[in-house]
Chain A
Amino acid sequence: MKGILLLAFKLLVNDKAKFSALIVGITFAVFLMVQMTSMFAGVLSRSSATVLNIGASMWVMDPSVQTIANSVGMPDYVLDYVRSVPGVRFAVPLYYGAALLKLPSGLYQTATVLGLDDTTLFGRPALIKGRIEDIYAENSFIAVHDPEFPKLENPTLGTRFELNDHRAIITGIAKVASPGLFGVPTLYTTYERALQYVPNPRFTISYILVEPKSSASILAIKKAVARLGYRAMTADEFIQMISDFYKYQTGIGINIFVMTIMSFIVGLSISGQTFYTFILENMEKFGALKAIGATNRQLVAMILFQSGFTSLTGYGLGVGLCSLIIGIAKLRLPDYASKITYFNLSLAFLMALVIAAISSYVGVRRVLRIEPFDIFRG
């Protein structure tokens, strides 16, 4: 069988024009599919950036919450109640809100403000400049050095600005694991200062961050919180809920899905048509092989090998090209949200296989139907 596959390989690659067209078709399709799904994965990943960056095991919130950004304030007694639930090691409040900054240049800029529990500073980011204890200093804020950082006019330690008409000073520059989705800079401060600086409704706790004593306690904590009319979720569940919101309750998911399907159809059209033409052009050769004594199994193996080889090569080139483009884009465009995941790669691989299967199915049907007698008849 090795020899017959080598024959198939030579017939394929020696027809440089057709082979190039096949490879370009599949590469292009895979590139588009990976690009689309990676962009979506990047958006989804960024939509949960705060959950990832804070790093709490469990989050307690109002049941109306759909994404991290639309928090609904909870009364203080909820925090007390959660702390009293058996299985809770500790629970701390988190403030999440938006503020308007007046920058040193006089321009205004919206920012996300995260207020960390004053006592524990649980969820604090890693600092690259400054000391974490300086967060307790007067008017102190920590700026996150992410792609939105330049929108704060690249502040340094000691930079002053106005935040909702209050004086604010940068006392630390932090890094985070994942930049946010919404294109606004992030500032960390203490919970109490956040309440002072940002106007709030009656209830002020955006989220309660919970650390259970063990994973076995999680279910009991969820049930206890639910009895009070609130919702407790693990970080993974919260991320999934946010992802589901963007996937199913915004236009982003369906648009990406449509674009991915279109990429697939384009790839299938180009590759399927080219492969079919390739088979048609070689039909008499396949007939000659059949007359000489090649079995249907050998001919099918040749076609499957040709389509499989083309698809896998196109897949590799498509993924490589996409990685290159995303890499370059990320170097040039800090806000570029794109993330190649194993799921993206698997999906594109599956679709490349489907393209190969459909293309070869059409070819196999034709080749199995050809009668060697047709070769004699010319």
Chain B
Amino acid sequence: MTAAIKATGVVKSFGEGAATVTALKSVNFEAAFGEMPYIVGPSGSGKTTLLSVLSGILRPNAGSVVVDGVDIWKLDVDSLASFRLHKIGFVFQDYHLFPRLTTAENAAIPLIIKGRDWESSVREAANYLDIVGLKERAELPPVKLSGGEQQRVAIARAIAGRPDILIMDEPTASLDGETGRNILGFVKRNILNERRCIVVVTHDSRIYEYASRIIIMEDGRLKGETPVPPANEK
């Protein structure tokens, strides 16, 4: 079976000379379709850098990343952008919704970038808003929504492109505990399936119960896994 993501010997440094900081030190990572691994660790441990390298938006200094059988860092810039568009969905920490578009228009963005016409994209995006329970809010601008609802719009946008890989960066950072748990519970129940892999970077222990496995990252290295707490501990 093909791994959803397989990273081997990934190294990433920033800066030059004496100021060089190595954020990833020969990291190996693997995730399968149908699972939702968490990468957790303290701030500055390299979680976001690893997520960026895995998702094809930050080129590593060394190592390879194979996503669904494609060595993504061997692709040229446009092919990589196209690969991200068709294979990977992003849920950003701060959502990055467009405040002057409606909720449905925000969710339709991946379809529009794919070249679909505006009307049909927005119509189809309404279906994804339905999945995240916001269909009745399709015509509102994001600023009229609560933080949890905005996060769900971001999820609808991420899945609108029908990606096989979903990348979630600190998805609960701007949410209260209960909303955060509701969102991740929703993602696990409704978005995760056997053809999709969802990689979550977080340091919010309140949502650990929804992980398939929890990988600890420290000082640019993966330090192994910690057991997933049972749901009834929360």
Chain A residues in the interface with B (C-beta under 8 A):
1-4, 6-7, 10-11, 14-15, 284-285, 287-298, 371-373, 375-378
Contact = CB atoms under 8 A, between A and B. Distances in A.
A373 B110 contact: no
A15 B141 CA distance: 13
Contact of A3 (B84, B90, B101, B115): B115
Given A15-B100, A293-B88, 12 more contacts: A1-B115, A2-B118, A3-B117, A284-B94, A292-B90, A292-B157, A294-B85, A294-B113, A298-B113, A371-B57, A375-B92, A376-B52
Contacts of A1: 115
A322 to B, nearest CB: 31
B113 A288 contact: no
Contacts of A284: 94, 96
B121 A3 contact: yes
Nearest to B121: A3
Contacts of B98: 11, 285
Contacts of B22: none
B191 interface: no
Contacts of A297: 78
B109 A378 contact: no
Interface of B: 48-49, 51-52, 55, 57-58, 77-78, 81-86, 88, 90, 92-94, 96, 98, 100-101, 105, 109-118, 121, 157, 161, 169
Contacts of B121: 3
Nearest to B48: A376
Nearest to A3: B112
Contacts of A290: 57, 81
B138 to A, nearest CB: 15
Nearest to A10: B101
A4 B110 CA distance: 10
Q: Which of A4, A6, A373, A377 has the most CB of B within 10 A?
A: A373
8 contacts: A4-B112, A4-B115, A7-B101, A287-B96, A292-B85, A292-B110, A296-B81, A298-B113
A347 B81 CA distance: 40
B60 to A, nearest CB: 12
Contacts of A291: 55, 57, 84, 90, 92
Nearest to B93: A378
Question: Which 7 pairs show the lowest CB-CB distances between chains A and B?
Answer: A293-B85, A14-B100, A288-B96, A372-B57, A3-B112, A293-B84, A373-B58
B100 A4 contact: no
A292 B109 CA distance: 9
A3 B116 contact: yes
